[in-house]
Amino acid sequence: MLQLLPSAKCLFDEPIQVKVTGLSPRQVVTMRARLIDEKGAVFSSLATYRANGSGEIDLDRDASLGGSYVGVEPMGLLWSMCTETLPKMFQKTNSMNPQIVTFSVHDEGNRVLAEMMNERFLMGDGVSRVFVKEGNIRGVLFTPPGEGPFPAVLDLCISKSEIRACLLANKGFVVFMVDLYNDKAFNGKEMQLDYFEEAMDFLKLQAKVGSKGVGIMANSKGAIIGLSLAAFVPGVKAVVCINGRNTNSSVVVCYKKQEVLSTLMFDYIKLINPDSFFVIGRYVFKNPLAEKLKASTVPIERAKGHFLFAASEDDLHWASKAHMDGMVERLQCHGKENFESVSYPGAGHLLEPPYRPYCPSSFQGAEGTLVMMGGEPKSHAAAEVHLWKKIQDFFRTRLSCNTEQIQAKL
């Protein structure tokens, strides 16, 4: 018998305990996990286990002998899933439906001994989801159940995925997810901070929001915009910068009809192509310390709020750890202490909420090719678990709430 505890239904970012009973003493079996994402991509994993003398296997206790991972890894069947052919990024944009994962147990002849479905929900009971089309802004607003007051977080998303925003709403935050590359903010040549300021203003007006300011959560290119908002736009109290940098690239950034950041261009000579399919973009940017390129650097020392910098040390897309160290040094040189930082050895570029399939590479429109993201699956998975909790703790600490804010709106 296969058991998923405490229930076969859970939130996407919650761990489960996988147990098997009723096997022969010391029987060797293969455990498998499989899912199909919204684009039809099939992700799967497998691991070999040996039952104990009572014919039982407990993934919280027992070590995998081989397969997609080895050792004691309670959630290994989830984070080690990958596609069988060309690596693909797991896609989940519809937060209304759970992600179905099929767990199964097979004997040495590959006969199915047991099978069970795990429904992994993005939206918990009482969380509301509303598509917003107001003024210039477009996005999706997630609100937790209860009266509040709740902290407000703006999620700058670069992949139109609602996973991060929705899961954070389950933790007691009002989260507004906006697409970084929408046509109101981005015209192909310029990125307008005014659009995101309008989104912040909309978020602060929500009835259940009790924080005095707004938190911003962003990674990669979105983190550059998040840092820019903290530097130039009032009301940003906390910024989570995941594998970002404070040097702007690709397009100029404008605010109040003025260019505030020039663009740091690619140096394609430094583009590393280890084979015919993938490229490493870690070193493609020109030196931001060059005098003529300093106008591309975000003056983060101007920010009134606090920063949480997170960097992956095995990021092959950007030199994230070096960028983070540079931002920390910049703040310290200006006498600032409004930051904390964390780095993760063995983690790659795409740090997301935990327990999703690992993504070693991704197609990038700017480069027009498959880009290596880096990371070792086990280390990357551990980093995602740690960072996800740290993000929640950081926002709870830095986004104070009071009932007077709620009463004033009512």
Q: What is the pLDDT of residues 123-150, one digit of tens each?
A: 999 999 999 998 889 999 999 999 989 9
Report residues of the chain scoring pLDDT below 70: 266-278, 281-293, 363-369, 403-410
Per CATH, domain 128-402 is 3.40.50.1820: yes
* Amino acid letter for position 123: M
Q: Are 284 and 271 in contact (CB under 8 A)?
A: yes
Q: Where are the domains of the chain?
A: 2-121, 128-402
Q: What is the pLDDT of residues 1-57, one digit of tens each?
A: 999 999 999 999 999 999 999 999 999 999 999 999 988 999 999 999 999 999 999
Which of 45, 159, 315, 317 is catalytic? The answer is 315
2-121 against 128-402: fold identical:
no
pLDDT of residue 410: 44
Distance CA 324, CA 334 (A): 16
Distance CA 129, CA 126 (A): 10
Catalytic site includes residue 220: yes
pLDDT of residue 156: 95
Which of 104, 159, 220, 320 is catalytic? The answer is 220
Architecture field, domain 2-121 = Sandwich (2.60)
Catalytic site includes residue 315: yes
Alpha helices per DSSP H over 170-303: 193-204, 221-232
Catalytic site includes residue 349: yes
Which of 44, 349, 361, 380 is catalytic? The answer is 349
- Separation in Å, CA 208 to CA 45, 96, 367, 406: 42, 22, 41, 6
